[in-house]
């Protein structure tokens, strides 16, 4: 079974994706595996917000290739080797790739795959696409490279999209790295409850209920020192307006803007941009792929926290 980006439906830069943008087909793959290649069975696929950009002819990023019409979609994936003609991979090995095709079985170049060690994540293989994968790396390296978090500095961190894969990790990592107070923003009471009860956030705001600005003032009486921004738009404008002098925005994502034809990062409204400049608030584009020299050590750190129960994963 293969999942294709559909040529029959035009989406455009402005618009919400729908099921009809894709189609599922049955196909066959080669009978023989060539030297250097492996036959894999797909176990997990990661479906992520950045993929909306890949549905445009121009992704807006030089590191992201647009999905081609009537070709198999791809992204982060994990599978198990069923037959190998690669010197470093054997039947039964678990492997991953950032360009895994969305199909149940595939023949892939063994050099494009990374072998996984399930014991590092207590056997939870899917974590290598989340807490111990690009998602976890984005949270950890974003905080370390752009958050300027210092233990004992009594810093308050706010996380938007806090119940998402990245946001839920970012809040916990902010605490582990030294923030004294962590407040999340999410879209349901259930999500807010999980953030506080399970993930160790001090508080969480349901942005669909009540006055977000008023709740932020109450929950962050000393202002906001670090903002892990996943969403952009009105929520971010509200948070930025309550940020302190010389504070820092970790520009992780702007998911409220992905269905619109705007540059990345989207420009701030003039009044919010004025606040940012007057208070010397940093807001620099962050791309985890620029820090791959720190990948191995960072993944080991994430795995250690998972094994110790310090990083909770849903």
pLDDT at 272: 97
Q: Region 150-159: what's the mean pLDDT?
A: 96
Show the 3-state SS of the chain. Answer: CEEEECCCCCCCCCCCCCHHHEEEECCCCCCCCCCCEEEEEEEEECCCHHHHHHHCCCCCCCCCCCCCCCCECEEEEEEEEEEECCCCCCCCCEEEEEEEECECEEEEEHHHCEECCHHHHCCCHHHHHCCCCHHHHHHHHHHHHHHCCCCCCCCEEEEECCCCHHHHHHHHHHHHHCCCEEEEEECCHHHHHHHHHCCCCCEEEECCCCCHHHHHHHHCCCCEEEEEECCCHHHHHHHHCCEEEEEEEEECCCHHHCCCCCCCCCCCCHHHHHHHHHCCCEEEECCHHHHHHHHHHHHHHHHHHHHCCCCCCC
Q: Which residue has tokens 């003039």?
A: 270
| Residue 31: half-sphere exposure toward Cβ, Cα within 13 Å | 0
Confidence of residue 3 (pLDDT cuts 50, 70, 90): confident
pTM summary value: 0.88
268-275 — which CB contacts under 8 Å span 24+ positions? 268/237, 268/240, 269/237, 272/237, 272/240, 272/241, 275/240, 275/241, 275/243
The tokens for 97 are 């790739």
Look at residue 10 and tell me whether its pLDDT is greater than 60.
no
pLDDT tens digit sequence for 290-308: 898 999 999 999 999 999 9
The answer to whether residues 266 and 232 touch, using CB atoms and an 8 Å cutoff, is yes
pLDDT at 8: 57
The CATH label, of 3.30.2130.30, 3.30.420.40, 2.140.10.10, 3.90.180.10, for the domain at 2-116 is 3.90.180.10
Look at residue 11 and tell me whether its pLDDT is greater than 70.
no
pLDDT at 17: 87
What does pLDDT average to over the chain?
A: 92
Domain map (residue ranges) of the chain: 2-116, 134-308
pLDDT at 9: 57
pLDDT, greater one: 130 or 288: 130
pLDDT at 129: 96
pLDDT, greater one: 79 or 13: 79
pLDDT tens digit sequence for 169-187: 999 999 999 999 999 999 9
pLDDT tens digit sequence for 235-252: 999 999 999 999 999 998
Domains 2-116 and 134-308 share a fold: no
pLDDT tens digit sequence for 69-128: 889 999 999 999 999 999 999 999 999 999 999 999 999 999 999 999 999 999 999 999
pLDDT at 4: 79
Q: Which CATH class is domain 134-308?
A: alpha beta
pLDDT at 268: 94
Confidence of residue 15 (pLDDT cuts 50, 70, 90): confident
């Amino acid at each position: 079974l293969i999942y294709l980006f559909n040529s029959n439906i035009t989406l455009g830069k402005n618009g919400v994706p729908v099921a009809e943008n894709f189609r599922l087909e049955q196909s066959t793959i080669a009978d023989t595996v060539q030297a250097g290649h492996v036959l894999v069975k797909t176990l997990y696929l990661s479906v992520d917000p950045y993929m909306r950009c890949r549905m445009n002819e121009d992704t807006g990023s030089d590191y992201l290739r647009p999905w081609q019409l009537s070709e198999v979609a791809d992204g982060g994936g994990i599978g198990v080797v069923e037959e190998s003609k690669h010197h470093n991979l054997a039947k039964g090995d678990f492997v991953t790739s950032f360009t895994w095709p969305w199909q149940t079985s595939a023949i892939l170049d063994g050099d494009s795959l990374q072998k996984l060690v399930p014991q590092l994540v207590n056997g939870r293989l899917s974590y290598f696409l989340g807490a111990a994968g690009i998602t976890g790396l984005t949270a950890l390296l974003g905080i370390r490279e752009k958050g300027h978090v210092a233990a004992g500095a009594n810093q308050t961190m706010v996380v938007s999209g806090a119940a998402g894969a990245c946001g839920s990790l970012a809040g916990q990592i902010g605490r582990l790295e030294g923030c004294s107070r962590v407040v999340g923003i999410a879209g349901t009471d259930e999500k807010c409850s999980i953030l506080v009860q399970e993930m160790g956030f001090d508080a969480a705001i349901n942005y669909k209920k009540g006055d977000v600005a008023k709740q932020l003032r109450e929950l962050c009486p000393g202002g906001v020192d670090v903002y892990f921004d996943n969403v952009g738009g009105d929520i971010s404008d509200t948070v930025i307006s309550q940020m302190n002098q010389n504070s820092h925005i970790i520009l992780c994502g702007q998911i409220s803007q992905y269905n619109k034809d705007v540059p990345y990062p989207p420009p701030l409204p003039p009044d919010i941009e004025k606040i940012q400049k007057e208070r010397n608030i940093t807001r620099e584009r962050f791309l985890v792929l620029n820090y791959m020299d720190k990948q191995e050590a960072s993944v080991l750190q994430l795995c250690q926290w998972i094994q110790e129960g310090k990083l909770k994963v849903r």
